[in-house]
Each structure stands twice: as C-alpha cells, then as structure tokens.
C-alpha cells in the first residue's frame, strides 16, 4: 500500500499549521491511543505521539474499512493513521484527521495495561517508570526538562563559554565530604589483601576510584586555560538522604569562570536562572500551563516575576540575624557557625524576601576547602566567599564560590579539613603556575526542574530516580 510509505508527520507540526495545507493530501500520523469513543456511525480516537501536550483527534467514519478495528482499540495501543487534515467542529482542538485507514501496530490488553484513563497518583506512577512518560504529567515533564537542558547550553554558548566534559570516574573527592560511591572490579566476596587490608593496588585503576560528586575540580583546570567554561553531566552522592529534594544520581551544571569574583558570579547565576525559566515558559507554553493548572496555581506568575526582577542578596551573618529576629520557632538551632537547614532557607526566601535570595560569605568551618578565604574577618568568625542561591519551596538550588587561588592558604585550608594533599597535586599545580582569580557554581538540574514545574518530589522530575534502596529500571 503506497500510503504506508508516506513519511510520518508529527502531531506538533500538524497542530502548529496556520491553515490547512494546499493541496490537502493524505497524511500519516502514528502514536498511542489515549481514548476511543464511538457515537452511532462515527468513532473518535485521541492519539498522542509525545511531540506536543495536545492529543490529535482522529475521526473514523463507519464507512472506513477499518471501522471494526477502531472500535476494538483501547488505551495504550499504538496505531498508524492515514487521512486528511480538517478543521475540527468539536471543541478543544483546531484540527483533526478524517481517517482513510487505521492500522493497529501494537495491542495493549485492557485487562492488563496499568495506565487506564483515570488519574493515577504520582507514587503509583513511580513504580511504572517505563510507562509513565505516556501520561500527561510525565510527557510534559520530559519536554520541559529537554527545553531547560537546551536553554542551559544556549545561555552559555551565547556568552562564549566552552562546554567541557569532565570525568564520571574519579580518584579525588571534589567536595572533600566523602559521600562517594566506590567503583571497583575487585571480587568483593574475596578481595585481594595486603598488610591486613584490601589491596587497592590490584583494583582496575591500581587505586581506589569513585563516581564523581562534582566536575568542579576538572572544570577549574579548563577555566585556568580557556577562561569561561561549563560542564553539564551526572553526579553522584552516596548520602543516605531520603528527602523530596535529594537524589543519589542527579545532573549538575557547573560554570567555572576565570578573572571573576563572587559578585560577578552572583550576577551570572541570576542571569542564568532568569534565562532558563524564560526559555521554559516560552518554548513549552502548553506544558507549563498544565503544570500551573494541576500542580501549582502560582507557578507561571512566580516564574514570570523571577524573570522580571533582581534577586535579593545578603550575607550569611545578615541571614542569621534575620532568622534570630524572625520570631519563628525553628526545629533546628540558629546560631552563627551552624549551617542553614532547609527550614531556614525557606524562611529567608519565602517569608523574609519573597523571592530568590543569594546568601554569601558563610563560615569557613561549614564550607568546602576550595572556597576563597575572606581576609578581613576576625579569626573566630572566619568566612569564605561562598554563595548559595535559595528559591521558594526548594531552598538551595545553586551552590558556588570564588575559589582559593593562593597556594599557601589553600594548603592550610586542606590541612584544616584533614585532606591528604597528595591526590590533589594537579589541583595545587594550578596555583603554582599562573594562578588566576576564578569562581564557579553548581546548579542542581533536578531541583531547577522541580522549581519550574511545581513538582513536590524530585523523584518526579527525573526519568529514572536513584534513591536509597531504589534503582529499578
Ligand atoms: O552545593 P553543592 O554540593 O556544590 C558542589 O558540588 C560544587 N562543587 C559546585 C560548584 O561550585 N561547581 O551542589 C550544587 C547543587 C546544589 O545547590 C543542589 O542544587 C544540587 O547541586 N544538589 C543535589 N541535587 C539533588 N540531589 C542531591 N543529593 C544534591 N546535592 C546537591
Ligand atoms: Mg551546597
């Protein structure tokens, strides 16, 4: 049949047509059936192919040779439809296809197919990560996530940043915090031993190796030669955090900029977030309208206000003072020198300023070894040029800092943190040869998608979430 040779048209492209094509030749569309209903001598089949939020309505007249087949179609079947595009008389869609032929590609037994027409809970859908992209929510999620990833590259490429790929397997702990997954080919049931311990020398790399927690240190290498760079890749944390904002595997965007200080970095972070949100709103209007309607009625208004206004900035010391004078009862103590907990972050951004806030200059004792030491602070209140960007509902979305470019200070900070300097020899070399001021940050991609879509749980913004005791799919 020659009609089967016609190329497939995407539903998105059909729905975007300004007017009916001239000549209006038969088209081929393919997709998965959402619903089928028939009334008397005509059947209506809604199909979706993932290209757009909207389904395409297929009208099948009883004279169509495939009418009997169409009446047997059920939710989840895949079909190929040939027909003519026409203006739709029904409500809710501009165009529909009047079918000449409908072929069943793949059946989905209605007794067994788990995604029936009714609304399912997000928890239930998490158990069906292989089928949930067919739902409105996860189809919209996949498209918004894609748009935001594109917006990220677009932002940096427009500003002349070089995209560098940093390694996933690493021998050094970029955060100096130790929550890493070990990578090994040793037989863990019977590992080779040496001097009473495991003989790491016999492991694949001749030393212990891990999944990276951050591409920062390698990005710094490139910032110290290419000046403006970024990485965007998966990172791994073996913390046993079972919360709505932690994943064991998540994606991080990490720009690293030479000849930049913390103020310049904060400006970059603001422009960056504004760009990504504007891009999502502009390129996925139907998906964003859906999230606004079903998940957060304030979503689009919030994002638009973020795109339009400057963020607030305050130091950690100011933040502590604001928390202490807030009159709030917090679960965790608020005291200079203690880290901010999620409840504190949310108070600052939601209640205190009512928009995103950039908190800077944290105590050195609670931040990573590579952050630049502020010189003018008293020893008992020593701070570093760190920044966290906090947003409503989520709290920390970005963590970054100006980097310590002075060799002697970096070495003493590493000693204070109890880090062995030997594996960081190359990182220290960057301070020995042509060291330059520089700064960078890491944006948690899933937290950003969570914020942009109004989803409560981070497990619903990544296709295959990895969390403690869960690595299905
Ligand atoms: O604040 P973090 O730990 O910073 C770094 O890793 C730096 N090396 C980044 C840099 O300066 N290049 O992580 C950065 C961001 C956090 O603000 C948060 O959004 C996200 O990564 N993040 C997580 N997202 C999901 N699950 C987790 N377990 C996360 N841990 C951090
Ligand atoms: Mg952080």
pLDDT value of position 298: 96
Residue 224 maps to a domain: yes
Residues 254 and 156 placed together within one structural domain of the fold: yes
Count of CB atoms situated within 10 Å of the CB of 393: 18
Is the per-residue pLDDT at 327 higher than 90? yes
163 and 33, same structural domain?
no
Q: Does residue 316 carry a pLDDT above 50?
A: yes
In this model, does residue 4 exceed pLDDT 60?
Answer: no
Residue 268 shares a structural domain with residue 350: yes
- Does the Cβ of 400 fall within 6 Å of ligand 1? yes
**1 pLDDT exceeds 50?**
no
How far, in Å, is the centroid of ligand 2 from the Cα of 387? 9
User: Which of the four pLDDT bands, split at 50, 70 and 90, describes residue 118?
Assistant: confident
Q: Which ligand is nearest to the CA of 212?
A: 1
> Does any ligand 1 atom lie closer than 6 A to the CB of residue 173?
no
101 within a domain of the structure (yes/no): yes
Distance 175 CA to ligand 1 centre (A): 10
pLDDT band at residue 5, thresholds of 50, 70 and 90?
A: low
Average pLDDT over residues 422-433: 96
Characterize the bridge pairing of strands 395-402 and 162-163: unpaired
| Averaged confidence pLDDT in the chain | 95
Predicted confidence at residue 39, as pLDDT, reads 82
Cβ–Cβ under 8 Å, residues 223 and 256 = yes
Alpha helix ranges (H) inside 338-432: 342-346, 407-416, 425-432
Atom of ligand 1 nearest to the CA of 400: 11
Q: Is 158 among the domain residues?
A: yes
**Contact 419/176 with Cβ under 8 angstroms?**
yes
> 98 and 169 share a domain?
no
- Are residues 426 and 353 located together in one domain of the fold? yes
Residues 23 and 147 in one domain: no
CA nearest to 138, candidates 301, 291, 293: 291
Choosing from 59, 90, 106, the residue where a domain stops is 106
Could you tell me if the CB of 405 is within 6 A of ligand 1?
no
Q: Is residue 69 part of a domain?
A: yes
Does residue 160 form part of some domain?
yes
Q: Whose CA is nearest to atom 2 of ligand 1?
A: 399
For residue 428, pLDDT over 70 is answered with yes
466 part of a folded domain: no
Same domain, 89 and 152: no
Residue 64 belongs to what domain range?
11-106
Index of the ligand 1 atom closest to the CA of residue 397: 19
Residue 431 resides in a domain: yes
Closest residue (by CA) to atom 7 of ligand 1? 442
**Mean pLDDT for the stretch of residues 282-309:** 97
On whether both 170 and 97 belong to a single domain, the answer is no
Nearest CA to ligand 1 atom 23: 444
E strands, 347-449, are 357-363, 383-391, 395-402, 438-444
Question: Half-sphere exposure of residue 208, counting CA atoms within 13 Å on the CB side?
Answer: 12
Segment 172-201 shows an average pLDDT of: 92
Instruction: Pick the ligand that lies closest to the CA of residue 444.
Output: 1
pLDDT digits (tens, 9 = 90+) for 260-278: 999 999 999 999 999 999 9
Residue 123 covered by a domain = no
The domain total for the chain is: 2
Using only the alpha carbons of the chain, give its radius of gyration.
Answer: 27
- Given a cut of 70, whether residue 2 has pLDDT beyond it is no
Let me know whether 99 and 140 are in one domain. no
- From the CB of 446, is ligand 1 less than 6 Å away? yes
d(CA 130, CA 358): 38
For residues 389 and 313, give the distance between their C-alpha atoms in angstroms, rounded to a whole number.
9
Please check whether residue 30 is in contact with residue 78, taking contact to mean a CB–CB distance below 8 angstroms: yes
pLDDT digits (tens, 9 = 90+) for 131-146: 999 999 999 999 999 9
pLDDT of residue 14 exceeding 80, the answer is yes
Q: What is the mean pLDDT of residues 68-78?
A: 96
Residues 366 and 245 in one domain: yes
pLDDT band at 40 (very low <50, low <70, confident <90, very high): confident
Say which ligand is closest to the CA of 340.
2
- Joined together, the tokens standing for residue 433 give 């040869």
| 173 & 102 share domain | no
Q: How far is CA 151 from the centre of its chain?
A: 12
CA distances to 7, 28, 54, 372, 382 from 80, rounded to whole Å, are: 11, 7, 18, 60, 67
Residue 230's pLDDT band (cuts 50, 70, 90): very high
For residue 415, give the CATH number of its domain.
Answer: 3.30.930.10
Domain CATH for 98: 2.40.50.140
pLDDT tier, 213 (very low <50, low <70, confident <90, very high otherwise): very high
What integer pLDDT is reported at residue 93 of this predicted model? 86
Domain boundary among 106, 121, 141: 106
Nearest to 108 by CA among 49, 35, 4: 35
Q: What is the dihedral of CA 429, 435, 438, 444, to 10 degrees?
A: -10
Tell me which of 90, 106, 122 is where a domain ends: 106
Q: Prior bond to 23 cis, omega within 30?
A: yes
Distance of CA 364 to the CA centre of its chain: 29
- Residue 236: beta bridge partners? 249
Ligand number, closest to the Cα atom of 256: 1
Token pair of 304 as six digits: 């638009």
Residue 378: predicted pLDDT: 86
Q: Which residues pair with 450 in a beta bridge?
A: none
Whether pLDDT at 90 is above 90: no
In this structure, are 47 and 151 located in the same domain? no
């Amino acid at each position: 049949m020659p009609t089967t040779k016609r190329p497939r048209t995407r539903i998105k492209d059909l729905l975007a047509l300004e007017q009916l094509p001239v000549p209006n030749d038969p088209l081929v569309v393919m997709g998965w059936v959402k619903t089928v209903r028939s009334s008397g001598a005509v059947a209506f089949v809604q199909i979706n192919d993932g290209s757009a939020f909207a389904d395409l309505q297929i009208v099948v007249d009883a004279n169509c040779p495939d009418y009997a087949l169409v009446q047997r179609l059920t939710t989840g079947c895949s079909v190929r439809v040939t027909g003519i595009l026409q203006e739709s008389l029904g409500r809710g869609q501009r165009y529909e296809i009047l079918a000449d032929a409908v072929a069943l590609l793949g059946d989905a037994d209605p007794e067994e197919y788990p995604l029936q027409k009714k609304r399912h809970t997000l928890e239930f859908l998490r158990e069906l990560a292989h089928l949930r992209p067919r739902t409105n929510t996860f189809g919209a999620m996949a498209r918004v996530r894609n748009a935001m990833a594109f917006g990220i590259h677009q932002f940096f490429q427009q500003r002349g940043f070089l995209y560098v790929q940093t390694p996933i397997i690493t021998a050094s702990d970029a955060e100096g915090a130790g929550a890493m997954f070990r990578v090994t080919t040793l037989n863990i049931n019977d590992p080779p031993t040496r001097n009473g311990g495991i003989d790491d020398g016999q492991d694949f790399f001749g030393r212990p190796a891990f999944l990276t927690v951050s591409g920062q240190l390698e990005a710094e290498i490139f910032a110290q030669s290419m000046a403006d760079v970024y990485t965007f890749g998966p990172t791994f944390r073996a913390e046993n955090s079972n919360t709505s904002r932690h994943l064991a595997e998540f994606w991080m965007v990490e720009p690293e900029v030479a000849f930049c200080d913390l103020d310049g970095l904060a400006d970059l972070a603001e422009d960056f977030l504004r760009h990504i949100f504007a891009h999502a709103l502009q390129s996925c209007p139907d998906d964003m309208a859906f999230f606004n309607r079903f998940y957060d009625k304030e979503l689009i208004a919030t994002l638009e206000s973020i795109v339009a206004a400057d963020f607030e900035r305050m130091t950690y010391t100011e933040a502590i003072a604001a928390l202490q004078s807030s009159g709030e009862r917090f679960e965790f103590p608020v005291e200079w020198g203690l880290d901010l907990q999620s409840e504190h972050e949310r108070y600052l951004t939601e209640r205190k300023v009512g928009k995103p806030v950039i908190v800077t200059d944290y105590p050195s004792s609670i931040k990573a070894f590579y952050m630049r030491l502020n010189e003018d602070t008293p020893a008992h209140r020593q701070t570093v040029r760190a920044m966290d960007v906090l947003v409503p509902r989520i709290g920390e979305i970005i963590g970054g800092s100006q980097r310590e470019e002075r060799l002697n200070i970096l070495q003493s900070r590493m000693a204070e943190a109890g880090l062995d300097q030997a594996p960081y020899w190359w990182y220290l070399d960057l301070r020995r040869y042509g060291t330059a001021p520089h700064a960078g940050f890491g944006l948690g991609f899933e937290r950003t998608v969570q914020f942009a879509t109004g989803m409560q749980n981070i497990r619903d913004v990544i296709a295959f979430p990895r969390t403690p005791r869960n690595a299905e799919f």
